[in-house]
Amino acid sequence: MFQKAMSTFSERVDSLIQSGKTDLTKAENGISLCIKTLSKLQKQVDQNDFDDLQSEIEFFRNIKPLPMSYLIYFTEVRSCELMLPKAGKSHKIRFLEKEIKKINKFFSANNSFVNYMEQNHNYLDYDFFSRKGRRDFSFSPTINYYQNPEFSTSHDMLWSKVQALYRYIHYIREKLELIQPGSSGDFRERQPNLLVWSGSKISLVEMIYALYHAGDINHGTTDLKTLCSAFEDIFNIKLDNFYKTYGEIKARKDPRAKYLYLIASKLEAKMRKDDEK
């Protein structure tokens, strides 16, 4: 029921992020896009409701939070762009450091819920993501336009803010890097530098796009930029302009997904070798 609206939203938000517009313009355009998408989703829910409890939980856990999280994210970016000191590197860095502290405070306060979601548990989904579940809203956002009984659950807004702040962390890091190269390293909460991508960047981008279009991460609700940022953190690598890299992959002669074919053939060869033993 929501596939067309969500597909259109994903395409438009990716195009917006990919555009060469300023961060402030992206944020303002993004806010408008998110509000329009949420309005469409709300109308669909009002008109058709849900076939069963599971489809309701699926909507409030995996569908609505995508545009809602971008609405919160773009609002945070807009606020940051407007409030960031106009002069002085040290003043700008101190401001961004305070933003990092606020993000850390939020995650610390909601640690149990974040862990529940990241471990992909579902035993509390009825309480968290159905309208008949708990009504003690755990998060009171400044963006409360969509927090009404028929279009909200106790935790869908909280889950949206979690996803929004993950994106906002990457925005802050990129901002710090632009102001003073190397400064963002102090705020990277990475695993120890044990995993380093030693293949080509184009191969990694090929794999990321394959995972994105398979829809097997966050039930297909994550966006390309977030996915690429996660791989950057895991493998201690910087993927510059992955949209352009994807264009280079598409321009290849068949097979265009060379890396995927290569690793699949290597795995098949290993399993055949194991069978022969």
pLDDT for 191 equals 41
Q: Is 60 exceeded by the pLDDT of residue 75? A: yes
Q: Per residue in 204-238, pLDDT tens?
A: 999 999 998 888 787 677 788 888 888 887 877 78
What HEC string does the chain produce?
CCHHHHHHHHHHHHHHHHCCCCHHHHHHHHHHHHHHHHHHHHHHHHHHCCCCHHHHHHHHHHHCHHHHHHHHHHHHHHHHHHHCCCCCHHHHHHHHHHHHHHHHHHHHHCHHHHHHHHCCCCCCHHHHHCCCCCCCCCCCCCCCCCCCCCCCCCCHHHHHHHHHHHHHHHHHHHHHHHHCCCHHHHHCCCCCCCCCCCCCHHHHHHHHHHHHHHCCCHHHCCCHHHHHHHHHHHHCCCCCCHHHHHHHHHCCCCCCCHHHHHHHHHHHHHHHHHHHC
What value does the mean pLDDT of the chain take? 84
pLDDT for 192 equals 43
Residues 251, 202: Cα–Cα separation, whole Å: 13
Q: Per residue in 189-202, pLDDT tens?
A: 444 445 678 788 89
pLDDT for 139 equals 56
| Predicted confidence band of residue 138 (pLDDT cuts 50, 70, 90) | low
Segment 83-107 mean pLDDT? 88
pLDDT for 277 equals 73
Q: Is 60 exceeded by the pLDDT of residue 203? A: yes
pLDDT for 142 equals 46
pLDDT for 72 equals 94
| Predicted confidence band of residue 76 (pLDDT cuts 50, 70, 90) | very high
Q: Is 70 exceeded by the pLDDT of residue 185? A: no
CB-based burial label for 8 (10 Å; 0-12, 13-18, 19+): middle
Segment 17-43 mean pLDDT? 92
The closest of 247, 170, 251 to 209, measured between CA atoms, is 247
Contact residues for 14 (Cβ-Cβ < 8 A; gap 6+): 223, 224, 225
Segment 90-113 mean pLDDT? 89
Top pLDDT among 147 and 174 is at 174
Residues 45, 133: Cα–Cα separation, whole Å: 18
pLDDT for 114 equals 87
Which of 101-105, 121-125, 265-269, 273-277 shows the lowest mean pLDDT across its residues? 273-277
What token pair was written down for 33?
Answer: 């896009």
Contact residues for 92 (Cβ-Cβ < 8 A; gap 6+): 84, 85, 179
pLDDT for 136 equals 61
pLDDT for 148 equals 66
